[in-house]
Structure 1
Amino acid sequence: MSPTKVIKLTVISDIICPWCYIGQRELDNALKMCSDLPVQVEIEYRPYRIYPSLSDGQFLEKLQWYESKFGSEKIKTMETMILPRARELGIDLKFTDGIITQTTLAHRLMLKAWKMGGQSTQQALLAALFKGYFEASANIGDTDVLADMAVIAKMMTKEEAVSFLESDELLDEVETMINESKKKGINGVPFIVINGKWAVSGGQTAEIFTQIFTKLANHDPTTPRPTYATPSNPPKSVATAPLMA
């Protein structure tokens, strides 16, 4: 039997990005499909802001904000690309419902989850955040809502979560991570760095991730060719590239 190979993924994403939710679900499916491979996949999620113009603490009706930014026709086009893909993955995605807000608080909580419990705790929180925001129209800029999600992820008590969120703990670290992504030229998410050497952008399918994991398990090189995707411009093909310095 071949020795187990460790594959480290750094996933740069934003909670309010639907392609990030889709990508997360596809990655989960890929891990199930690769359960018989001699690989151990370690995943860390890092922050990104897809709409940097949104201010912290600013709460806007999502549909109204989307219409002002994209226009009604483009929203319809975006929905025709996003909603069918989400349904295929069992996601009841409500694209224009609820509140849109900046995600700094949620990213701080995600980093706290990583520091407290590593991959398992961070992924439990991420699942709660994505499901709450996209399927239950939860306001993830609200301290009380985020504290409830920390409880769901079994990170801490609600009182502890509120205390953390009302502080500035990890704010500088989150800002540094976001700025580092910008400096590396990352302009669309999800953006996945593989073993610090290659990157895959966009909400790729589970089949694509499976091909990558299989190649790495067999020590085959990936093909360098970068591409980028945004919530309104979904990826059409796999993209791997050396990590930018």
Structure 2
Amino acid sequence: MQPPRVIKLLVFSDIICPWCYIGQKEMDTAIERCRDSPVQFEIEYRPYKLQPSIKDGQTFPKKEFYETRYGAVKAETMATAVEKRSEEIGLDIKMFDGVITQTTLAHRLLLKAWQLGGQRLQLPLLNTLFKQYFSEGLNIADEEVLAKAAADNDVMTEAEALEWFKTDECLGEVEQMMIDVRRKGVTGVPFVVIDNKWAVSGGQSADTYTQIFDKIANHHSDQPASPPQIPAAPTCVAGESVAA
């Protein structure tokens, strides 16, 4: 019996990106559909700074931020589209609840989770942070919020996390990863690299991911691999400036 085909997914995302949360849910659904297929998935999440002009520690009310950037009408249209799509797939996204902030600290914690336990620790933590930000309106730059998320997902205890935040561990790696992905021309997220061969951009549907995974699972190594057809999908594009 042949061992299962391993599909490697490298996912660039930012916690403040609604299409990253939606794309994550759709990808999870597609992976679940492949449960009975001879494939396994290795998933690693990498950091992306969607709003580089926001300084660490700054916060802005979400509604005010989006209206300043897009105008009131466009911001409302965008929020309605996101919330409608999220409801269709079973997510609870409230676009204007809470504050928008820089995500460096959260990305550091996600990288630490990966180092400690790979996707076993990183993926549940990421899902918790998405839920805290979009459903509960929590400030995901708040050390106490992040420490509780770390403890709830067995990354480290709250006390350990609060001490860890006082260090610079993982900061250099996170910043370098963000620089590297921008140098490669990635201007928005979610952005998924599959098996180091194909790139998938935007909040794709579970059907699209399922088709891609089936194509890879059924590919024979003695045949040239052809890239799957990827439809256009909504993406969060890196921002410009933010009004102080």
Q: How does 1:58-73 map to 2 (within 5 A)?
A: 58-73=58-73
**Matches of 1:193 and 1:171, distance apart in 2:** 23
Q: How does 1:26-175 map to 2 (within 5 A)?
A: 26-175=26-175
- What fraction of aligned residue pairs are identical, expressed as a percent? 53
Number of residue pairs aligned between Structure 1 and Structure 2: 232
- Code of the residue aligned with 1:153 in structure 2: it is N
- Code of the residue aligned with 1:230 in structure 2: it is T
**Matches of 2:22 and 2:234, distance apart in 1:** 13
**Matches of 2:157 and 2:141, distance apart in 1:** 18
Counterpart for residue 7 of structure 1: 7
**Matches of 1:172 and 1:226, distance apart in 2:** 35
The answer for unaligned runs of 5 or more in structure 1 is 233-245
**Matches of 1:177 and 1:65, distance apart in 2:** 26
Distance change >3 Å, CA 148–CA 50, structure 1 → 2 = same
TM-score by length of 2: 0.91
**Matches of 2:60 and 2:102, distance apart in 1:** 10
- Code of the residue aligned with 1:191 in structure 2: it is F
Counterpart for residue 209 of structure 1: 209
Output one character per residue of 1:103-139: Cα deviation in whole Å (capped at 9) or x when no partner. Answer: 0000000000000111010011001100010000010
Counterpart for residue 190 of structure 1: 190
Residues 112 and 170, structure 1, Cα contact 8 Å, conserved in 2? yes
SS of corresponding position for 1:56: coil
- Code of the residue aligned with 2:235 in structure 1: it is T
TM-superposed deviation, 1:2: 5.2
**Matches of 1:77 and 1:194, distance apart in 2:** 32
SS of corresponding position for 1:78: helix
**Matches of 1:62 and 1:156, distance apart in 2:** 30
TM-score by length of 1: 0.91
Relative contact order, higher structure (CA 8 A, sep 6+): 2
Output one character per residue of 1:41-61: Cα deviation in whole Å (capped at 9) or x when no partner. Answer: 110000001111111110111
Moved over 3 A (4+): 223-229
The answer for unaligned runs of 5 or more in structure 2 is 220-224, 238-244
Distance change >3 Å, CA 174–CA 100, structure 1 → 2 = same
SS of corresponding position for 1:27: helix
**Matches of 2:131 and 2:229, distance apart in 1:** 33
Residues 188 and 228, structure 1, Cα contact 8 Å, conserved in 2? no
